[in-house]
Structure 1
Amino acid sequence: MEHITSTPTIKTPAERFTGDVYLNLIEAPAEPAHLAIGLVRFTPGARTNWHSHANGQTLYITDGIGLVGTRDGHVMRVSAGQTVKCPAGEEHWHGATDTTLMAHIATVVGDGTTWLEPVTDEQFAQALASQTS
């Protein structure tokens, strides 16, 4: 058994995120499970780039209100206490709304994240508009 008292908060790289996003790594992928777990905090308007995971991803929303979008235009509004499962290979993005922060615990098995281009301001605005109509 190992007790980890804290992990440093890091600012996520601008090549993979828009806006200010902060990460506390809870579990780094290692043998034998290759499980990665992180607490990710998004400031208002902040979001991931488009990306996919070879083995899927599970997000547990811990605070605030956010959005999760897919390439087919489906956008889900999420809030604290909800869980979203992104299937293997599905290109998606997630982040805060334009007015509220959002935090989630992200879990990924393996190191198969494929990072793609940023979600444009226009795509983000369309996602927001889809939630108010």
Structure 2
Amino acid sequence: MEVIRAPCERREAPQRRYSGVVWTGKDIVGMEPSRLRAVSEQFSPGARTAWHSEPYGQVLHVLFGVGRVQRRGGPVLEVLAGDTVVCHAGEWHWHGAAPDSFVAVMSTCETDALDVGTEWGAHVSDAEYRLPPMGAVVPRQDEDRTFQPEVCW
């Protein structure tokens, strides 16, 4: 195990990949042979990523606020603090803040063997962003599984 102390570095996200004001933290990189990459992102109200996809998918965990996510061809979904969004490998999607809320997410993905990760596309248009959001669908527990409470610290 290794603890890497990092300064509180934040940088404004590049406008070629984001719309609005977005701040990102220092990239977190797994140790070889891991190809894990993670970054924290803070979106101001209305800010969002451009369309993008990852070769092995992406997992987003909402830390605080209210956000929006959409996969290409699907509805806009509203996500809240504590929600986790799983984007499948090669699935084009975007994510960002609701129009009236900040949102912070921890974003994780893997790169391929050549260290290539996110493929970026066009910016999400205002018309796409303004589609009315649906609440996120919460899957029911499988009926053949029993709930096992775990200690939460």
Per the normalisation by structure 2, the TM-score is 0.79
In the TM superposition, 1:51-90 aligns within 5 A as: 51-90=52-91
Could you say which residue in structure 1 is the equivalent of 2:119? 114
* Cα distance in 2 between the residues matched to 1:30 and 1:53: 20
Check conservation: 2:77, 2:133, Cα contact below 8 A: no
1:25 matched to 2:30? The reply is no
* Cα distance in 2 between the residues matched to 1:37 and 1:107: 4
Could you say which residue in structure 2 is the equivalent of 1:48? 49
Shift of 1:32: 1.6
Richer in helix (by share): 1
Could you say which residue in structure 1 is the equivalent of 2:10? 9
Per the normalisation by structure 1, the TM-score is 0.91
Identical amino acids, percent of aligned pairs = 35
- Where 1:62 maps in the other structure, the secondary structure is strand
Structure 1 pair 52/46, CA: closer, same or farther in 2 (3 Å)?
Answer: same
Shift of 1:7: 4.2
Shift of 1:25: 2.2
1:100 matched to 2:105? The reply is no
> How many corresponding residue pairs?
130
Shift of 1:6: 2.5
**Alpha-carbon deviations, 1:91-115, whole Å to 9, x = none?**
0000001000110000011132100
Check conservation: 1:10, 1:24, Cα contact below 8 A: yes
Shift of 1:130: 3.6
- Where 2:26 maps in the other structure, the secondary structure is strand
Q: Which has the larger radius of gyration?
A: 2
Unaligned runs of 5+ in 1: none
* Cα distance in 2 between the residues matched to 1:43 and 1:25: 18
* Cα distance in 1 between the residues matched to 2:122 and 2:32: 30
Unaligned runs of 5+ in 2: 136-153
4+ residue stretches of structure 1 with deviation over 6 A?
Answer: none
* Cα distance in 2 between the residues matched to 1:94 and 1:6: 26
Check conservation: 2:78, 2:133, Cα contact below 8 A: no
CA root-mean-square deviation: 1.6
Check conservation: 1:7, 1:26, Cα contact below 8 A: no
